[in-house]
Amino acid sequence: MNSDNLETLTQRMRKLGINPADLDEKFIRSGGKGGQNVNKVATCVLLTHRPSGIFVRCDEERTQGRNRYLARNRLVEKRDAAEKLRRQNRRPSRAARQRTLQAKRHRSEIKKFRKPPSWE
C-alpha cells in the first residue's frame, strides 16, 4: 500500500462525503489462514459509517493496516454503488420529461409522412 493509493482513497472518501470522524472501527481476531499471527493479533477490521449505516468487515490480509485500507476501500465502493442506485431511481426532471415528449412528437411527425398517399 503506497501513499498514492491512500491519497486517492482519501479523495474518493471526501468526494462521497465520508468523514473519517463518522467511522466506527473495531478490531477482532480473524482466524483462518495466516498461522499463529491471525490467532494472536486482532487483524480483522469492522468498519461502520454511522450516518449511512453501511457496515464492512475485512479479514483478507494478515496485517491490520492492509485490512484497514481494504475495509475503507470497500466502504467507498458500497457508498458509491448506493449513490448510483439513488440517482438511477430518481424521477426525471420536468425539463427532461418535456424533451422526451418533444422528441416523441417529432418522431411521430416524421412517421406520418411515411404512409403512402390515399387516392380518394
Instruction: Give residue-wise pLDDT tens across range 28-46.
Output: 988 777 677 777 888 899 9
Residue 103 or residue 31, greater confidence: 103
Percent of the chain with pLDDT over 70: 97
**Would you list the domain boundaries of the chain?**
3-112
User: What's the grid cell of residue 97?
Assistant: 420529461
CA neighbours closer than 13 Å in the CB half-sphere of residue 41: 14
pLDDT digits (tens, 9 = 90+) for 63-80: 899 999 999 999 999 999
More confident residue, 36 or 47: 47
What is the pLDDT, as a whole number, of residue 1? Answer: 67
Looking at residue 120, its pLDDT comes to: 65
Place of cell 467507498: 76
State residue 40's pLDDT score.
83
pLDDT value for 30: 83
In degrees rounded to 5, what are phi and psi of residue 85? -65, -40
Right CATH for 3-112 from 1.10.1240.10, 3.90.1150.10, 3.30.160.20, 1.10.3720.10: 3.30.160.20
Mean pLDDT over 17-27 rounds to 92
Q: Which residue has the cell 499471527?
A: 37
pTM over 0.75: no
Beta strands in 29-112 (DSSP E): 44-49, 54-58
Neighbour tally for 63: CB within 10 Å: 13
